[in-house]
Structure 1
């Protein structure tokens, strides 16, 4: 699934394997092997590709069908709890995430 998703998203962006390889400092053969399913990326490479295409690693791996998972989407339930109809900004969502991580660290649950 990874290779198919990588080729699909690269083609949608209109980027050749050569262009992508040059930009990310990979070899074209390395990308071709990923797309053909002959090799799988290590974690660092997977993250690099996800960041480049602005998609989640889960999308590249075929675990979800939506290309991107933003902090806004992850914390959408907070809005329902607060009873507000305002959209949560990326900055607010990131703040909430960091606050929760800090809280869990203090409580010994992280």
Structure 2
């Protein structure tokens, strides 16, 4: 990860934390870590492990791609609310319902495919 990518990740973590009205201490408590870890992530000094990025994305209700700077679209919930879940369930091979987590993974995959396509164009 480049220095600019680290800074962008830190900026997005801080932005999301502040939007929820959380202090660094409160977010650290939710993630079962020390406040200094959050300060280091936000300052772009340390990159959080993938599991922490995933946990943060769930707390902030954004995609991991948004936090990592791979997507400008952070409104994951808006996507889910605007989604016709029946259409996705209809296309699911075994006919079972998709959980919210399944739908989130579908959107993360869509973001991944879009980013790959955009890289090919550029």
TM-score, scaled to structure 2:
0.60
Give the number of the structure whose alpha-carbon radius of gyration is greater.
1
Q: Which runs of 5+ in 1 are unaligned?
A: 77-86, 101-110
SS at match of 2:15: helix
User: Which aligned segments of 4 or more residues in structure 1 are displaced greater than 3 angstroms?
Assistant: none
Of Structure 1 and Structure 2, which has the larger fraction of its residues in helix?
Answer: 2
Residues 51-86 of structure 1 show CA distances to partners (whole Å, capped at 9, x for unaligned) of 11110001001111111346x56xx9xxxxxxxxxx
Please report the TM-score for the alignment, with normalisation by the length of structure 1: 0.66
What runs of 5+ residues in structure 2 fail to find an aligned partner?
Answer: 1-7, 95-122
Structure 1 SS opposite 2:12: helix
1:60 to 47, 67, 85: 67
1:8 matched to 2:21? The reply is no
